[in-house]
Amino acid sequence: MAAERSDFPGDDGPAWWDHEAGPVVRPYMVTGGRVQPVSTDFDLISHVVAISSLAAETPSPEHQAILGMTQEPRSVAEVAARVDLPLGVVRVLLCDLLVAGQIARYDPPSTDDLPNIETLQAVIHGLRAL
């Protein structure tokens, strides 16, 4: 489809968007001007899953899209890629859904919970001795 003409005064060239691109909405408009999640930060590899189906009280199409795709667990990075929004925006939207009780978050295990290297080496040596 052909590009639109620019509406800016003195700019007679074609605009950088066309009808196929859809409406242009700035990311800060999607989050209502918020740039940080309200209560918690989401790690890239944290998984989120919807614990409620699409609800009528879901505030925006972006929230609805996230709820729709998280009917099965997905990482925060995957959610951001699928909704085609910047990661910071997706983190704010996920926080909204978490606070509203519409999603659950599962964080990756911390390195504090993993066995130390000496224990793993002792297990390997023990297995080799068998």
Domain 27-129 fold is Arc Repressor Mutant, subunit A (1.10.10)
H or E element: which one contains 104? strand 103-106
pLDDT tens string 34-77: 656 656 678 888 999 999 765 556 678 888 888 999 999 999 99
pLDDT, average across residues 101-120 = 84
DSSP 8-state class, residue 54: -
Burial of 1-25, coded b for 16+ CB within 10 Å and e otherwise, reads: eeeeeeeeeeeeeeeeeeeeeeeee
Query: Domain spans of the chain?
Result: 27-129
- The whole model's pTM is what? 0.62
pLDDT, average across residues 11-27 = 57
Residue whose entry in the numeric block shows the structure tokens 């989120």? 48
